[in-house]
Amino acid sequence: MLKAYKIEIKPTEEQIKKINKTIGVCRFIYNFYIAHNQETYKNSGKFVSGMSFSKWLNNDFIPNNRNYLWIKDVSSKAVKQSIMNGEKAFKQFFKKETGFPKFKKKNRSNVGVYLPKNNKTDFIVERHRAKIPTLGFVRLKEFGYIPLNSNIKSGTITKKCDRYYISILVDKEFKKNNKQYSFGIGVDLGIKEFATVSDERIFKNINKTYKVKKLKKSLKKEQRKLSRKYESLKIRNKEEGGNVTRQNVQKQVLKVQKLHNRINNIRTDYINKTINELVKTKPEFINIEDLNISGMMKNRHLSKAIAEQKLYEFRNKLINKCHQNEIEVRLSNRFYASSKTCSQCGSIKKDLKLADRTYICPECGAVIDRDLNAAINLRDNQIYKIV
């Protein structure tokens, strides 16, 4: 089974220059492929595949435009992968899965450098360092995280907030969890509490903790500073005729990015720990609701709170973790009234409002927490699909 390990690396100055150059070339090629496809489609009404564009680029465009020879200075595999990423984006657009491919902006888009394994000596992982194609040995920030002597398939280097990371894809055999199955559980996801389990476990909303609130307050302060710097830069450009240094603005942008990254890491870490707590008891199944996240995000009053919970990421990671541990994941229909249905008698309370946090059944008089009631209904629901 394939598993990805992402870890921060500490490259040398020379390696940093090479990584930045490769990222810049990959970004340029991705944008060039999109622009070339747009122009070709307007002229001939045809779509250029990634393979055709790659042949045209190497055999026609670069030889006839000597000022673009710098494209050849970086890894050809990384350049080829950026073209294939562009083709994938177009195919998803044609299938109406995503919007039209967007151009990647400098220092504002996530551009990865793909490095495949061509021979046995390309990727070598040691305790404190790893050998990466075209870069050589690079120090790892954490020791012993990536298993030694593992069968590595490929790696991708990314840059985020002035830090460098590598994602290594490893072919690994997972140990089977021989623990006996426990009773199945239902999990209700929400905004007030992140997750409520049918066995009465509650996972709090990490965004309401003091630590995250303090970071969000600092982020708001730094964003105001950045806005003022942009305004002063516009005024100075008008007075001095442009070409005013953006050094201070870039420093402030980096501060904002680091705060965003730190908050995001806290949320991701909490999701991983929550999933681990759910899976380690090895329930027979986990039933969650098939939430319409994109539809929920259209609610302007709750969209920010929903985005901060990272519900879609939680669902994907839960499914992957359950598959590794041979646990069945069930998805209840999004129109199933789990919150309005009484878990005791099955009657439906149609006038239940979002502000009603306690469920009081008008038929049998049962009094129960709203989210716990929904989690129990999800556990007992017999209409579902297995993913």
Per-domain residue ranges of the chain: 2-171, 185-202+282-386, 207-270
Summary mean pLDDT of the chain: 89
pLDDT at 235: 81
pTM, two decimal places: 0.84
Give the tokens for residue 97. 């899965």
Residues whose CB falls within 8 Å of the CB of residue 273, separated by 6 or more in sequence, listed in order = none
pLDDT at 151: 81
CA-to-CA separations, 323 to 24, 284, 335, in angstroms, rounded:
37, 12, 26
pLDDT at 346: 86
What gap in Å lies between CA 220 and CA 212, rounded to an integer? 12
Angle between the N-to-C axes of helices 13-44 and 76-94, in degrees from 0 to 180, rounded to the nearest 10: 40
Q: How many CB atoms lie within 10 A of CB 306?
A: 18
Give the tokens for residue 142. 């954490």
Q: Are strands 285-289 and 328-332 parallel, antiparallel or unpaired?
A: parallel
Contact indicator for 331, 289 with CB cutoff of 8 Å: yes
pLDDT at 173: 75
CA-to-CA separations, 59 to 24, 52, 56, 62, 64, in angstroms, rounded:
22, 11, 5, 7, 9
Q: How many CB atoms lie within 10 A of CB 359?
A: 22
pLDDT at 161: 86
What gap in Å lies between CA 377 and CA 289, rounded to an integer? 10
Q: How many CB atoms lie within 10 A of CB 283?
A: 24
What gap in Å lies between CA 129 and CA 284, rounded to an integer? 40
Please list the ranges in the chain whose pLDDT falls under 50. Answer: none
